Structure 1
Amino acid sequence: MNTKSKDVNEQIEFGLDSIDSEKTIEIKLKDFMLIYKTFQEFNRFFHQPMHFPTIEDIEVYLGNKDSGAYSMISKIYYQVLDKYLPKEIEDKFGEENDPFHCPDYPYYYKVKSDENIDDGTIRVTDRESFSAFVSNLLNEYKKEGSKWENKRIEDFIEGISAYAQDIDGYYENMKFDTSSDTPTWRIFAQILKGATVYE
């Protein structure tokens, strides 16, 4: 098995052996069938490599939060599964000794610096490039604003506030040697960019 592929399995299965194998929960049939049919569809697509000969084929299939496979992942994760998470399990998430948090980050997080990540802000280095970035962000909104998570100005400003508070968590998760305590024009741009999708 490919080492990176195995890493995915380890991330998912980490800590599950701490749960009593006989413990059960009750789930509504409609919710179960939504989960079942979603995984049925994922299996139908991914079991056959001829379905995705190029990365573009996978990108089309995944879509975004509004449509495609990722929209179903997001719906199940945020709207369905939360209803069934037992409190004794939920309370362990985020604890210092969270039994489900693998201490080793997945392979796709192992990037030393955000200088290697072109998130649309990599060239924002001064006031002029920041101004150009904001203009481009406005053009993006005019063309594809309906795809933004925060479409209304109130939600967008709220997203700016929330992402400004949480952006260091992103840097920490990604193992970046970056801190928002030393602000840069790029960090300002990343906050605006993050506010388009941050809930």
Structure 2
Amino acid sequence: MKTHSTIEERVEYGIEAIPEDQMVTVSLRDLKYVHALLGEFVSFFHQSAHTETLDQVRSFVGNKDAGALHVLWEAYYQRMSRMVAPLALQHDDGRFDHPLPPDFYEGRS
């Protein structure tokens, strides 16, 4: 029996419940911010030479105050929350929460 979900499964879970023609209005500035963030992640992780050591990854990721994690928090908690506001009530009911934990939870407390 499967005990964990993959990143692909978690991202796609429940998404089919959203009608393809349902739209939201977003700020072009916020959309560009999120797009640029995703581009930076792609740029960093597409080259294995960037992730040869844990120190390289830690330096890129940073923390909530600086680095990729800082920008990610801004994108997720500030900018994206405005974009997906119409889904907020649906999200609160767990409809988009995969029932299995991610595999990185293994052995963590």
TM-score by length of 2: 0.88
- The percent identity for this pair of structures is 25
The equivalent of 2:105 in structure 1 is 109
Within a 5 Å distance, the mapping from 1:38-77 to structure 2 comes to 38-77=37-76
**1:78 has 2:77 as partner:** yes
The structure number with the bigger radius of gyration is 1
- Aligned partner of 2:28 in structure 1 is 29
Determine helix, strand or coil for the equivalent of 1:72. Answer: helix
Tell me the residue number matched to 1:14. 13
Which residue is 2:91 aligned to?
93
Instruction: Measure, in 2, the Cα distance between the counterparts of 1:15 and 1:24.
Output: 17
1:62-96 per-residue CA deviation (whole Å, 9 max, x = no partner) reads: 00011110001100111111112233x2112232x
Report which structure shows greater RCO (CA 8 Å, sep ≥6).
2
Instruction: State the alpha-carbon separation in 2 of the partners of residues 26 and 103 from structure 1.
Output: 30
**C-alpha distance 108-39 of structure 1, shift in aligned 2 (>3 A):** same
Q: Which ranges of structure 1 fall in alignment gaps of 5 or more residues? A: 115-199
1:9-60 C-alpha deviation (Å, 9 max, x unpaired) = 1111111111011111111111111111111111111101011211111011
The 5-angstrom pairing of residues 127-138 of structure 1 reads none
CA distance, structure 2, for counterparts of residue 12 and residue 37 of structure 1: 19
Q: Give distance in 1, aligned partners of 2:85 and 2:77.
A: 15
Q: Which 5+ residue runs of structure 2 have no aligned equivalent?
A: none
In 2, Cα distance between equivalents of 1:23 and 1:77: 21
Q: CA RMSD in A?
A: 1.7
| Aligned-partner Cα distance in 2 for 1:51–1:75 | 23
- Tell which deviates more after alignment, 76-85 or 63-72: 76-85
Q: Any runs of at least 4 consecutive aligned residues in structure 1 with deviations exceeding 3 A, and if so which?
A: none
Equivalent residue runs for 1:147-166 within 5 Å: none
